Amino acid sequence: MNETTENKEKQDSSSKLIMIVDDDEQIIEYMTTLLQTEGFRTKAAMDGKIALKRVNEEPVDLMLLDIMMPNKGGFEVLKQLYGQNETRNIPVIVMTARRLDRSTMEMIKTEPNVREIVSKPVSPYSFRSKIHEMLNTVSPADRKRMEEHQKWEQETQQDRSLWELPPGFRKKRDE
């Protein structure tokens, strides 16, 4: 499969909804801006209880979940997500501002919904790439760049064909 085919199979990011669950309003604003710039739709919750209510009202494609929160922490949210058929398969990226010890990291990794654990603050470039890869999406800007590149390749190929000599041309000339 070539790169062009792979890119065509990727969905536009605008078709994906990501829930941001964090008790820090600045983190929610930052992540919302970062994700919406990439074309994703977002919704947010400031605690686990609200997050579970909202995710049951409208399914999400990915959840970014802070582990330490009031009113139901990240661990409780993970347990309840996996315990319900409707939310069982929602992938989760766990975010934490705290340095976690090895046993806590291992415990988080065993949760079925957890796909990744990241430390806050996140690196925008690698985080965006990780989310696009996880959801098999491409941002509108990247989609436009790929289309422009494909157009350029087609034009270049057409230009090359203008310079190709017809079969046997060299033989006739040399004779």
CATH value at residue 21: 3.40.50.2300
Burial label, 137 (beta-carbon count in 10 A; 0-12, 13-18, 19+): buried
Phi and psi angles of residue 76, each rounded to the nearest 5 degrees, phi first:
-65, -40
> Does residue 175 sit within a domain?
no
Nearest by Cα to 7 from 148, 154, 147: 147
Structural domain count of the chain? 1
Between CA 173 and CA 102 the distance in angstroms is 76
Cα–Cα distance, 93 to 97 (Å, whole number)? 13
The proportion of the chain whose per-residue pLDDT surpasses 90, expressed as a percent, equals: 29
For residue 5, the model assigns a pLDDT of 39
In a domain, 76, yes or no: yes
Q: What is the pLDDT of residue 15?
A: 81
Q: Where are the alpha helices (DSSP H) in the chain?
A: 3-9, 25-37, 48-57, 74-83, 102-109, 124-135, 140-163, 169-174
On the question of pLDDT at 170 being above 70, the answer is: no
Angle at 49 between CA 25 and CA 77, to 5 degrees: 100
Supply the range of the domain harboring residue 18. Answer: 3-141
DSSP-derived secondary structure letter, 43: E
The pLDDT of residue 93 is 92
Task: Tell me, yes or no, whether 54 lies in a domain.
Answer: yes
State residue 112's pLDDT score.
Answer: 75
Categorize the per-residue pLDDT at 19 as very low, low, confident or very high, splitting at 50, 70 and 90.
very high
- pTM recorded for the entire structure: 0.72
172 in a domain, yes or no?
no
